[in-house]
Amino acid sequence: MHEIVCVGDVHEGISFGFRVDPETAISERALDLHRNFARAAAWAIEHGTKLFIVLGDLFDRPNVAPVFRELVRKDVIEPLGKAGIEVWLLAGNHDQPRADARSTSLEDFRGYPHVRVFRSPEAVEKEVAGHRVGFLMLPYLHPEQVLENAKGKGIEEVEGLTIEEAYVVARSLWKGWIAQHAESMKDSTFRLVLGHYYVEGARVSSTTNIEVIPGEFSFTRDMIPPSVDLAVMGHIHLHQTIWGNVVYTGAPERIDWGERGDPKGFLALSPETKAWEFIELPARTMEKIEVTVREGDDPTATILAGLPPAVKDSMVRLEVTIPDALRIRVDDRKIAERLQDAFHYEVRWIAVERETVAPSEYTLDPLRLLGDFVDRTFEKDPRRDAIRTEGEKILREVLG
């Protein structure tokens, strides 16, 4: 029952702005993600797995700092190789460059004989524990790559179509490609689609990290033919099953606050029974606390009463809705004392009535300037926090 292990959305190299080691520049929170990836590899070794597959977004960017590549090499790639386990790495939207000619951190592992990297669609048949398995590998393609792929198959008319119309053509092509190759795998007793895409009907967790990019290519139900036994997908961080035969592994650790109640882990697949099992991993507790302070309340006492009795080693987000006049009466020191055992905490103050105040200071800090711009421009946009987080991540990468 454990011959194939599928892990998705590890996001090695992701940036967190807290608990950062000054020597390595790595946040302890990023190490949470890495540890669960290493746990999945250790589980595969312990249970005699034959094939270990990462379903996209092994890395948070096409090119990450060498220290993250070294962590993956030391704790995952080489131990799996020593155990005789083959490793397949599928490119995701985060670690797939938009230009095909550009390299990526995934390429660093091509030199290992037991590692195979997939950056373009490919059909593979392979013996796994005495069973013939057919794999249809579908790495993430950016919108422009989807269109180029369509033109590469002789569909020149996509040039004059809107992106939505071109996607209709692309879906038809991919549907035909999947069905054709699945049918041709007559010697395979277990046929799999492994991809990194949004599938119609999937629940999305993101509140601050953008999982699904506006305008990206997505899969529809009719693209998975009856000849395919199972489709296992990365890209969406919530573990879930859709239509009965499409399963998301989910991320192996909580990345976004929208995942705070989601179990985390990976899938183990059996070619013999054509079944899968979700293997749960320990995940960092995330506590989101909402407190409303009203006129006449003791603001500090009200906030303290709303906090859970124990927050040790938890991620805590405290959101306090409070009138402006009462904000200055809050004893921040007492709140900090109550939350000092948390792994990390942040407090968001939400004013009941917002006042427009002329700026009293000027700044050239690019992160603050970006934050002010996003707050003003996207004030009522429900994805404001996601836009700001993505912008800050790109800006930090550019600034080095």
The answer to whether residue 338 scores a pLDDT higher than 90 is yes
Single pTM value for the model: 0.84
Q: What 8-state DSSP symbol labels residue 58? A: S
> Domain span at residue 370?
360-400
> What SS3 class is residue 179?
helix
Q: Which residue has the higher pLDDT, 373 or 224?
A: 224
Q: Which helix (H) or strand (E) holds 148?
A: helix 143-152
Residues 178 and 150 grouped into a single domain: yes
CA atoms 196, 197, 198, 200: torsion sign: negative
Whether 233 and 309 share a structural domain? no
Assign 205 a pLDDT band (cuts: 50, 70, 90): confident
Q: What is the mean predicted confidence (pLDDT) over 130-151?
A: 82
Instruction: Specify the number of domains making up the chain.
Output: 3
Q: Which two tokens stand for residue 18?
A: 């807290």
Q: What angle do CA 221, 222, 225 make, to 5 degrees?
A: 110
Please give the average per-residue pLDDT across 1-19, as a whole number. 93
pLDDT tens digits, one per residue of 340-376: 999 999 999 998 865 444 444 455 667 777 877 877 7
The arithmetic mean of pLDDT across residues 165-184, rounded, is 85
Do 263 and 294 reside in the same domain of the chain?
Answer: no
What is the mean predicted confidence (pLDDT) over 209-237? 84
The DSSP-derived string for 203-256 is ----SSS--SPTT--EE-GGGS-TT--EEEEESSSS-EEETTTEEE---SS--S
Q: Is pLDDT larger for residue 269 or for residue 219?
A: 269
Quick one: pLDDT band at residue 397, thresholds 50, 70, 90? low
With the C-alpha atoms ordered 143, 144, 145, 146, is the resulting torsion angle positive or negative? positive
In the chain, % of residues over pLDDT 90 = 66
228-281 pLDDT, tens per residue? 999 999 999 999 999 889 999 999 999 988 899 899 999 999 999 999 999 999
Phi, psi of 73 (to 5 degrees): -60, -50
Both tokens assigned to 125: 């048949």
The pLDDT, as a whole number, for residue 52 is 98
CA distance 96 to 122: 15
**Among 36, 12, 61, 387, which Cα is nearest to 206's?**
387
CA distances (Å), origin 229, targets 175, 193, 351 = 15, 8, 53
Counting beta carbons within 10 angstroms of the beta carbon of residue 347, is it exposed (0 to 12), middle (13 to 18) or buried (19 or more)? middle
Single-letter code of the amino acid located at 237: H
Instruction: Please give the average per-residue pLDDT across 104-126, as a whole number.
Output: 94
Question: Which residue in the block uniquely carries the two structure tokens 């549907």?
Answer: 175
| Residues 110 and 154 occupy one common structural domain | yes
**Do both 269 and 145 map to the same domain?**
yes
Asked if residue 185 lies in contact with residue 134, where contact means CB atoms within 8 angstroms, the answer is: yes
Average pLDDT of the segment spanning 183-208: 88
Per-residue confidence (pLDDT) for residue 356, from 0 to 100: 46
Strands laid side by side in the 230-234 sheet: 122-128, 131-138, 190-196, 230-234, 246-248, 240-242
365 and 319 both lie in a single domain? no
For residue 76, what is the domain's CATH number?
3.60.21.10
Structural contact between residues 67 and 26, judged by C-beta atoms closer than 8 angstroms: yes
Q: Look over the chain and give the mean of its residue pLDDT values, rounded to a whole number.
A: 88
166 and 257 housed in the same domain:
yes
